[in-house]
Amino acid sequence: MKATAHDFKNAASKALKDDNLRQALHRVETGFAGNRAAAISRLPEFHDLRDEGVAIKMHVLDHLDYYLERFEQKVIETGGQVHWCTTPKEARDTILELCRSVDAKTCTKGKSMIAEEIALNPFLEENGVLPIETDLGEYIIQLADEPPSHIIGPAVHKTKDQISDLFFEHHQKYGKTERQSDGRMLVNEAREILRQKYIDADVGITGANFLIAETGSTVIVTNEGNGDLTQSLPKMHIVIASLEKVIPTMEDASTILRLLARSATGQEFSVYTTFSTGPRRDDDLDGPGSFHVVLLDNGRSKLAGSEDRELLRCIRCGACMNHCPVYHAVGGHAYGWVYPGPIGAALDPHFIGIEEARHLPNASTFCGRCEDVCPMRIPLPSILRRWRERAFESNVTPPAERFGVGAWAWLAKHPAFYRVGTRLAVRGLSLLGGRRKRIAKLPLAGGWTATRDLPAPAGQTFQDQWRRQRGRSA
Ligand code: SF4
């Protein structure tokens, strides 16, 4: 996927004016977050499970090479093959070569963020293998020719009417000439069309939520069962996964699975949890003839040794974006790369560089909700703060902002000047607020006052109020 993160400000500004997007994002804010809270209230040990999940992931990060090699050994023992890929290009080339080895013309695909990361679909299409997304959300955005806007709800930015229009436009060639507006009918129409695609596909490509080292199994969770059909009907099953998805045991998978669906959608468990271990055996009724795992590094082994390594604990549940006021306002596309929301703002600069992603660490109010809800307790605000420091130190921050931050730092280090400066500012702003106590226009605050008034300060600085309330004179 081509990065457009440098254009975050423009994209966010456009998103704020998009009424359809406002309507669609309201569902994220109310639906996912409310369901999560209800699910967690029914599981008293949820926070203990979080600690266990964190411990499992940290243990893996400390012994990543050991568990990856163990995983590979088990995959080979069960008849499969692991392909180690350092870069997105290597991963794309490997997948294409595998597809060509079975003369594939089409492949079905389950939802995979790694496939987005390596821009797999356009590459396969350019090289004569037509990829067909089978997750309903992914199918919708494939028709719309858009990237996903959420890691668990790729089409969450679309309203039902927009989906209805898309299906009407693209499904007429299948004889579907009636425009459907009922949600159930839309789902049935997509299901009917996808059925034949599963049967025709030569290769099935899925992602993986986990790679289990003790058995060589890969695990996916879905709510539609599309992953099962994708991987069991074609001749070949290719799993694309990144290194940090490996965990030691089945028992560990069951611990983290108890966190995943609750944090993501508020379900106790996703409808389907599918374990794949090698290709079809002689006495199996179905399954693929060959099984391949494409393991992507793309900078993760370096990240594992850095101070931001906790990012590799992410289980892609989406809870951080479901609770983020910035994501609620601008949606996922504004972030301009594969991973949106707080996890994207913290992770994307590692992949596309801080220069391209310079606005993302600032796309946060630092309210801390992302860290509060993250099942893996990833300290997202601290990581975002580090990115702001790195941007400042490497001169990526624009000169005006650097000057402002520099002036603020100087004031903060000189308490007497700070006190005088803040008193003057508070008094000046109080006067500007007048009787309404609201400021309609203010130099350097045009971004705020363009759409709303700035409340005038109450009349005293915090420090003055603190002293007064403690009975001391200022
Ligand atoms: S950072 Fe945490 S909350 Fe966000 S997607 Fe990853 S695991 Fe979920």
* Choices 3.30.70.380, 3.40.50.11810, 3.40.50.10420, 3.30.300.90: CATH for 60-155+194-301: 3.40.50.10420
> In which band, very low, low, confident or very high, does the pLDDT at 473 lie, cut at 50, 70 and 90?
low
Residue 372 confidence (pLDDT): 97
Pocket test for ligand 1, best of 36, 150, 309, 315 (most atoms within 8 A of CB): 315
Mean pLDDT of all residues in 441-466: 86
- Say if ligand 1 is within 6 A of residue 315 CB: yes
Q: How many CA atoms lie within 13 A of 191 on its CB side?
A: 9
Radius of gyration of the chain (CA): 25
Q: Whose CA is nearest to atom 2 of ligand 1?
A: 374
3-state secondary structure the chain: CCCCHHHHHHHHHHHHCCHHHHHHHHHHHHHHHHHHHHHHHCCCCHHHHHHHHHHHHHHHHHCHHHHHHHHHHHHHHCCCEEEEECCHHHHHHHHHHHHHHCCCCEEEECCCHHHHHCCHHHHHHHCCCEEEECCHHHHHHHHHCCCCCCCCCCCCCCCHHHHHHHHHHHHHHHCCCCCCCCHHHHHHHHHHHHHHHHHHCCEEEECCCEEECCCCEEEEEECCCHHHHHHHCCCEEEEEEEHHHEECCHHHHHHHHHHHHHHHCCCCCCCEEEEECCCCCCCCCCCCCEEEEEEECCCHHHHHCCCCHHHHHCCCCCHHHHCCHHHHHHCCHHHCCCCCHHHHHHHHHHHHCCCCCCCHHHCCCCCCHHHHHCCCCCCHHHHHHHHHHHHHHCCCCCHHHHHHHHHHHHHHCCHHHHHHHHHHHHHHHHHHHCCCCEECCCCCCHHHHCCCCEECCCCCCHHHHHHHHCCCCC
Cα 390 to the center of its chain, rounded Å:
22
Q: Whose CA is nearest to atom 4 of ligand 1?
A: 320
**What is the 333 CA–ligand 1 centroid distance (Å)?**
18
Residue 314 has pLDDT above 60, yes or no: yes
Mean pLDDT, rounded, of the chain: 94
* Per-residue pLDDT at 354 exceeds 70: yes
Cα separation, 469 vs 474, in Å, equals 11
The first and second tokens of residue 248, run together, are 């030691």
What is the percentage of the chain residues whose pLDDT exceeds 70?
A: 99
Q: Is 375 in the pocket of ligand 1 (CB under 6 A)?
A: yes
Q: Where are the beta strands (DSSP E) in 7-115?
A: 81-85, 106-109
Ligand 1 mean position, distance from CA 8 (Å): 21
Residue 173 pLDDT > 90, yes or no? yes
Nearest protein CA to atom 6 of ligand 1, as residue: 314
For a ligand 1 pocket test, name from 36, 327, 374 the mutation site with the most ligand atoms within 8 angstroms of its C-beta: 374
**Rounded CA separation 90/70 (Å):** 22
Q: What is the pLDDT of residue 472?
A: 60
**Phi then psi dihedrals of residue 258, to 5 deg:** -65, -25
Which tens digit of pLDDT belongs to each residue from 92-145? Answer: 999 999 999 999 999 999 999 999 999 999 999 999 999 999 999 999 999 999
Sign for the pseudo-dihedral over CA of 229, 230, 231, 233? positive
| H or E segment and range at residue 386 | helix 380-393
pLDDT at 244: 97
Angle at 244 between CA 281 and CA 361, to 5 degrees: 145
Comparing 217 with 404, the larger pLDDT belongs to 217
Q: List, in sequence order, every residue forming a beta bridge with 259; answer none if it has no partner.
A: none
pLDDT value at residue 474: 45
Look at strands 106-109 and 203-206 and give their pairing.
parallel
Extract the tokens encoding 151: 């890691």
> Contact at 8 Å (CB) between 217 and 256?
no
Closest of 260, 266, 268, 274 to residue 207, by C-alpha? 274
**Alpha-carbon span 118 to 111, nearest angstrom:** 13
Specify the pTM. Answer: 0.91
How far away, in angstroms, is 92 Cα from ligand 1 center? 26
Exposure on the CB side of residue 239, measured as CA atoms within 13 A: 35
* 317, 360, 373, 380: residue to mutate for ligand 1 pocket, most atoms within 8 A of CB: 317
What pLDDT, on a 0 to 100 scale, did the predictor assign at position 124?
98
Query: Does ligand 1 lie within 6 Å of residue 326's CB atom?
Result: no
343 lines ligand 1 (CB under 6 A): yes
Which pLDDT score, from 0 to 100, does residue 215 have? 98
Q: Three-class SS of residue 57?
A: helix
What is the distance in A from the centroid of ligand 1 to the CA of 168?
35
Quick check: CB of 347 below 6 Å from ligand 1? Answer: no
What number is the average pLDDT over the span 20-25? 90
pLDDT band at 260 (very low <50, low <70, confident <90, very high): very high
Give start-end residues of each CATH 3.40.50.10420 domain in the chain: 60-155+194-301
Does the C-beta of 378 come closer than 6 Å to ligand 1? yes
Q: Is 314 in the pocket of ligand 1 (CB under 6 A)?
A: yes
The tens digit of pLDDT for each residue in 364-414 reads 999 999 999 999 999 999 999 999 999 999 999 888 888 988 898 999 999
Q: How far is CA 54 from CA 70, 209, 220, 252, 376, in A?
A: 21, 16, 20, 11, 5
Residue 185 has pLDDT above 80, yes or no: yes
